[in-house]
Structure 1
Amino acid sequence: MTEIGLYFDLRNPPHRTGSAARLHAFTLEMCEEAERLGAGSVWFSEHHLFDDGYLTQPLTFAAAAAARTRRIRLGTAILIAPLHSPVEVAEQAALVDLISDGRLDLGIGTGYRKPEYELYGASDRQRYGRTDDMVRRLRELWSKGGVTPAPVQDPIPVWLGYHGPQGARRAGLLGAPLLTPNRESWTAYRAGLTEGGHDLAVARMGGGVQAWVTEDPERDWPLVAPYIGYQVDSYRRHMVDGTGEPAPKPIDPARLVDRDARNPLSYFWFGTPDAIAERIRGLTEGAPVDTVYLWGSVGGMPEEMVAEHVRVVSTRLAPLLR
């Protein structure tokens, strides 16, 4: 069984109508609506110094969502571990887990943007090793004698947002859930679990799928395509900040819809619930994937488009994969 969730980054680009305050309030409304409609989870991301107001504090927003919901799970995908103190993360995550009565999934990763490391006065050297160490330290801090108050879950699941075989193996060595839904990572993840002496029964995979689901693809493509293009171009442009590399040329969104899911920026599927469900089955088949989430909003969409996507994902796509 694969649960379906929704993913929010709270972008507020110039083409979007409405204030940043309204965007945050509306996104909380969508978390409530996703729960009402039966979605399994909502996830929040972290970036800094984006020119469109990208969410910077996912655990803070998760705390707000926790207070507005009762059942749906709350995830970070991802929190940039090397920017933060393990004690800070342990205490904030424990608080979200307490407010939500044990519904937090803490996804962490290394980050990659130089401006973010500079903003925090942090080094990007050995960031994978430091992220691995964060997992170990959080487990210690949540155990007896660690931070207080303790979380509800014992312990909170700490997912590793690693891509590729080396990252999958690292997650396996730690016995941690792997935050990718791509079955191609299962072999290396399984090998890491075995090498680390972990029972394969603890294996868990899940993660984001770049996709938009619609009841009428022909009608909706002209409406959705510009937002897909903006979002992918924004990620690609911000990736080179501080590197001296030129900004990539804008991408044609139509070229993304039929590509394989090699990495998060290599594709963006678009289709009916049945078509996207089939794509997700192909991506996850044979791997221990138990949760997948799609963007609730893309590139600063208007509220009515977001609300419709939340509805279609929660009521039409989710039952096909559950």
Structure 2
Amino acid sequence: MSGTPVSVVRFNLVDPAGTPASLSERYRAAVSMAAYADQQGVATVQTEEHHGVANNWLPSPFTFAGAVLGATRNIAVTVSAIIGPLHDPLRLAEDIAVLDLIGGGRLVTVAGIGYRPEEYAQFDVEWARRGKLQDELIETLLRAWTGEEFTFRGRRVRVTPRPFTQPHPLLLVGGSSRAAARRAARFGLPFFPSAHLPELETYYKERLVEYGTEGWTMMPAESTPLLHISEAPDRTWAEHGTHFLHEARTYASWQSGRIRSAVKSAATSVEQLRAEGVYRVLTPDQCLEQGLDNLVLHPLAGGMPVDEGWRSLRLFCENVLPRLTG
């Protein structure tokens, strides 16, 4: 472990049995959890985007990010990742600029292209054009944030207001392919591989030289488990292991052989999932003993009851975090 680990609280608001009332409780709890995490010194809230999922996976990460930015003062909010080609480039430029102004530069956006054709079908976006659409999106964002007029799809446009962060809000290109690495290098943007892929990082650095651009890599560690803190891990696995398994199985159903992800599980039972180590339920002492560079707490994983999520978050903030920095 090098230096102080980075602390992250992740939310995707999954709730397989969700009703409008329970989902409202979960969303409001997540914003309150983010505010508490901010007060306790957690570094980042991380969220993401998926559409039309039966378990109510968060589809609107920037709306959620706005609520979190409004309820906090210091914590960064990372949207990791958006499905770039599903967004209107001009509207996205405006939304990110406004959120960047609200947050004073605390919003981080990772632009990926997704891996579920059904999401493209839902929005009537051609799957085969996703690479070209992603190029257009990134180019448009970077031009829009200058505040100057430019040509977009044959017409003159101007996006205002300008964002707080100059020259532009932090934007990374995500993915697990050479095309994503090339795209990041071509635009001179940081690269966010979706898994620990050192060979892809090398390829990205070579492309930076080729294009004469500058950039850096934010790559997951070889092991980046999703954490839940408990004073009694055996009991937590027995009572709540099905929530972790639900999320793991959902991810597994989306991942083909070409998809590389830091969250990749082959488990089909709670027992297998626990042995695998992608999801870990740990005591505060065990968490400290892991020696991880990134501590990713996932308090509401897979529809976890809100009160259990709060227990995990408080244990982390009260019994882990102070011992990391002190």
Same fold (TM over 0.5): yes
Partner in structure 1 of residue 262 of structure 2: none
Partner in structure 2 of residue 268 of structure 1: 279
Of 130, 148, 165, 1:153 maps to 165
Partner in structure 1 of residue 143 of structure 2: 140
Alpha-carbon distance, 1:80 to partner: 0.8
Once residues 318 and 290 of structure 2 are traced to their aligned partners in structure 1, the CA distance between those partners, rounded to angstroms, is 18
1:230 aligned to 2:243? no
1:182 aligned to 2:196? yes
Once residues 74 and 180 of structure 2 are traced to their aligned partners in structure 1, the CA distance between those partners, rounded to angstroms, is 31
Does the CA-based 8 Å contact 2:186-2:211 persist in structure 1?
A: yes
Alpha-carbon distance, 1:137 to partner: 1.9
Partner in structure 2 of residue 243 of structure 1: none
Does the CA-based 8 Å contact 1:37-1:311 persist in structure 2?
A: no
- Mean CA deviation greater in 214-223 or 48-57: 214-223
Partner in structure 1 of residue 227 of structure 2: 212
Alpha-carbon distance, 1:237 to partner: 3.8
3-state DSSP of counterpart to 1:203: coil
Change in Cα spacing, 1:21 to 1:82, as seen in structure 2 (3 Å) is same
Once residues 104 and 189 of structure 2 are traced to their aligned partners in structure 1, the CA distance between those partners, rounded to angstroms, is 22
3-state DSSP of counterpart to 2:308: helix
3-state DSSP of counterpart to 1:182: coil
Partner in structure 2 of residue 171 of structure 1: 184
Per-residue CA deviation, residues 82-140 of structure 1 (Å, 9 max, x unaligned), is 11111111011111111112211012211122221111110111423432442222111
Alpha-carbon distance, 1:319 to partner: 5.8
Alpha-carbon distance, 1:46 to partner: 1.1
Q: Which has the higher contact order (CA 8 A, sep 6+)?
A: 1
Normalising by structure 2, we get a TM-score of 0.79
Change in Cα spacing, 1:87 to 1:196, as seen in structure 2 (3 Å) is same
Once residues 243 and 183 of structure 2 are traced to their aligned partners in structure 1, the CA distance between those partners, rounded to angstroms, is 35
Does the CA-based 8 Å contact 2:49-2:81 persist in structure 1?
A: yes
Once residues 234 and 90 of structure 2 are traced to their aligned partners in structure 1, the CA distance between those partners, rounded to angstroms, is 50
Partner in structure 1 of residue 154 of structure 2: none
1:38 aligned to 2:53? no
3-state DSSP of counterpart to 1:251: coil
- Mean CA deviation greater in 303-312 or 163-172: 163-172
1:47 aligned to 2:50? yes
Alignment RMSD (CA, Å): 3.1
Does the CA-based 8 Å contact 1:10-1:24 persist in structure 2?
A: yes
Once residues 275 and 206 of structure 2 are traced to their aligned partners in structure 1, the CA distance between those partners, rounded to angstroms, is 31
Q: What one-letter code is carried by the residue in structure 2 that aligns with 1:151?
A: P
Mark the structure with the bigger radius of gyration: 2
Alpha-carbon distance, 1:173 to partner: 3.9
Once residues 274 and 179 of structure 1 are traced to their aligned partners in structure 2, the CA distance between those partners, rounded to angstroms, is 30
Does the CA-based 8 Å contact 1:213-1:270 persist in structure 2?
A: yes
Alpha-carbon distance, 1:36 to partner: 1.3
Change in Cα spacing, 1:15 to 1:172, as seen in structure 2 (3 Å) is same
Alignment identity in percent?
26
Once residues 259 and 171 of structure 1 are traced to their aligned partners in structure 2, the CA distance between those partners, rounded to angstroms, is 33
Does the CA-based 8 Å contact 2:147-2:161 persist in structure 1?
A: no
Of 117, 122, 131, 1:119 maps to 122
1:193 aligned to 2:208? yes
Per-residue CA deviation, residues 266-287 of structure 1 (Å, 9 max, x unaligned), is x334434565566674xx6xxx
Does the CA-based 8 Å contact 2:18-2:56 persist in structure 1?
A: no
Alpha-carbon distance, 1:196 to partner: 3.0
Once residues 322 and 178 of structure 2 are traced to their aligned partners in structure 1, the CA distance between those partners, rounded to angstroms, is 31
Once residues 249 and 259 of structure 1 are traced to their aligned partners in structure 2, the CA distance between those partners, rounded to angstroms, is 8
Does the CA-based 8 Å contact 1:213-1:309 persist in structure 2?
A: yes
Counting only pairs closer than 5 Å after superposition, residues 298-317 of structure 1 correspond to structure 2 as 298-317=301-320
Q: What one-letter code is carried by the residue in structure 2 that aligns with 1:268?
A: Y
3-state DSSP of counterpart to 2:133: helix
3-state DSSP of counterpart to 1:236: helix
Change in Cα spacing, 1:294 to 1:257, as seen in structure 2 (3 Å) is same
3-state DSSP of counterpart to 2:140: helix
Partner in structure 2 of residue 203 of structure 1: 216
Q: What one-letter code is carried by the residue in structure 2 that aligns with 1:182?
A: H
1:296 aligned to 2:310? no
Does the CA-based 8 Å contact 2:228-2:299 persist in structure 1?
A: no
Per-residue CA deviation, residues 53-88 of structure 1 (Å, 9 max, x unaligned), is 111111111111111111111121111101111111
3-state DSSP of counterpart to 1:188: helix
Once residues 165 and 277 of structure 1 are traced to their aligned partners in structure 2, the CA distance between those partners, rounded to angstroms, is 35
Does the CA-based 8 Å contact 1:171-1:177 persist in structure 2?
A: yes
Does the CA-based 8 Å contact 2:18-2:55 persist in structure 1?
A: no
Partner in structure 1 of residue 105 of structure 2: 102
Gap regions ≥5 residues in structure 2? 149-157, 257-264
- Mean CA deviation greater in 179-188 or 295-304: 179-188
Does the CA-based 8 Å contact 1:8-1:43 persist in structure 2?
A: yes
